[in-house]
Amino acid sequence: MKKNDINCYERFLFFGGGVMAERLYNQIDCAEKKLIGVFDLFDDDKRAVSSFKNHRIKNVREYSKELNNVNVAIVVAIGHFAVFKIVNNLLKAYPYISDRLFVANPYSSLRFFMVDDELAAEERVPFTDEKYTKVRNLLNDKESLTHFDLLIKSKPYESVSDSYELIPYESIKDMYYYTEDYWNTYSFSQVVNDNCATVIDCGAYIGDSVVSIVNAIPQKNVDYYALEPLAENVEKMKANCEFNTICKSFNVLEFGVGDENKKLYFHIPANNDKEGGRFTDDPQGAIDSLDIRKIDDIPFQVNGTLYIKMDIEGSELPALKGALNTIIKFHPYLAICLYHRKNDLVDIPLYIDSLGINYKFYLRGGYHTILWAIPE
């Protein structure tokens, strides 16, 4: 048996009981396949698919015999960041399963937990040798080059359509981690001549990365602008007094960023599952809305060195285009997430490079892939 080929197994134990798990199970090409059990950390009967209901299990320990069976494939099919914790806990408890542990390729459908998401349906631009060489030549250290090559191997660039696939954990384990330290792992080698900094945090969420960003940058007098379009997250940030103590000023702006000033409307699917909701330009039937602004049109007061961080669910490239004048004027340090859209790994570094600013480029973050553009 080829342990790294999911189709060579006949018995399967699944972790994850949602739509993605069902799709992945149905794709397994084995005539005699048998589903032993489905363990779902999200104990929600509404979420579970009907074909899995008779196989749901509550206690993994009761299936130790199956976990010990070398002929049983262990599949983790969860489209949630909790997947890293689940995999680590499994391997800690059952280290001998690593060579028959399969995970959903996080780079085959980057938003696989959003079944009807337009980003998941987006076509992948064919990846040519010319593009590969261009991007690779931009990267400035061995870690970035290794990172890039692992990502290219993980992403199915030979396919332009949306896809779901199971891959051996062993083949992706070096990239199978998640971090939101946007600057902490970068050593600032340049001498900084000012004591002031301005941070524009696009996609600030509840401020979960504010402290790490402020602590990581060398300047200590920081004017911080936290941009977040969702009102409930804005209120949580405003209520956090710590941010005002570590920043010279902490400003919360309730809107998202893009390449034009407009309003988007939030719609939820027929099953009322907000996690499957999406923003569109259509106001009819919407339950909420948000304002989108160009960074160039926001009256920021930039003092000292400018840092821009973007973690905005696939809107990074439009937001960069909406910040064109700001980038050209201030040459900011950039920390841009590349993992939301299928083509961002290529399109975003090439776009930033096309602006003619002398940037050095680095890749960090594993699954949560971040591009750092450092001005020289």
Q: Residue 322's pLDDT is what?
A: 98
Tens-place pLDDT, residues 142-170: 989 988 887 777 655 555 555 567 888 98
* Nearest-angstrom CA–CA distance, 16 and 22: 9
Q: What is the pLDDT of residue 260?
A: 94
**Tokens at residue 350, please?**
């090439």
Q: What is the pLDDT of residue 44?
A: 57
Across 61-70, 165-174, 272-281, 293-302, least confident range? 272-281
Pairing of strands 11-15, 196-202: unpaired
- 45: DSSP letter: T
pLDDT in tens, 318-330: 999 999 999 999 9
196-375: CATH class: alpha beta
Q: Find out whether 201 and 57 touch, Cβ atoms under 8 Å.
A: no
Of the segments 112-121, 171-180, 215-224, which one has the largest average pLDDT value? Answer: 215-224
Q: Name which residue leads in pLDDT, 99 or 176.
A: 99
Residue-averaged pLDDT of the chain: 83
The percent of residues in the chain predicted with pLDDT above 90, rounded, is: 41
Query: Residue 248: which pLDDT band, with cuts at 50, 70 and 90?
Result: very high
Task: Give the list of residues 6+ apart from residue 26 with CB closer than 8 angstroms, or none.
Answer: none
User: Could you tell me which residue, 335 or 151, shows the higher pLDDT?
Assistant: 335
User: Is residue 128 predicted with pLDDT exceeding 60?
Assistant: yes
Instruction: Give the range among 21-25, 137-141, 299-303, 321-325 with minimum mean pLDDT.
Output: 21-25
Q: Is the pLDDT of residue 236 over 90?
A: yes
Q: pLDDT: is 34 or 342 the higher one?
A: 34
Q: Above 70 in pLDDT, residue 121?
A: no
Residue 212, Cβ density class (10 Å: 0-12 exposed, 13-18 middle, ≥19 buried)? middle
User: Which stretches does DSSP call E strand in 163-216?
Assistant: 166-168, 196-202
Q: What is the pLDDT of residue 112?
A: 41
Regarding predicted confidence, which is higher, 258 or 112? 258
pLDDT exceeds 60 at position 9: yes
Does residue 262 have a pLDDT over 80?
yes
Highest mean pLDDT among 28-32, 62-66, 329-333: 329-333
Exposed / middle / buried, residue 202 (Cβ in 10 Å: 0-12, 13-18, 19+)? buried
The predicted-structure confidence for 351-364, as pLDDT tens digits, reads as follows 999 999 999 999 98
| Equal fold, 6-104 vs 196-375 | yes
> Are 373 and 336 a contacting pair, CB within 8 Å?
yes
Q: Which helix (H) or strand (E) holds 347?
A: helix 344-354
Under DSSP, the state recorded for 126 is P
Contact between 225 and 198 (Cβ < 8 Å): yes
pLDDT band, very low/low/confident/very high, at 129 (cuts 50, 70, 90): confident
Percent over 70 (pLDDT), the chain: 81
Pick the CATH number of 6-104 from 3.40.50.20, 1.10.760.10, 3.40.50.300, 3.40.50.720: 3.40.50.20
**pLDDT tens, residue by residue, 74-112:** 999 876 677 888 899 899 999 999 999 998 876 654 444
What interhelical angle do 142-154 and 344-354 show, nearest 10? 140
Cα 31 to Cα 26, 60, 186, 195, distances in angstroms: 11, 26, 50, 66
The residue that leads in pLDDT, 48 or 203, is 203
The domain segmentation of the chain, as residue ranges, is 6-104, 196-375
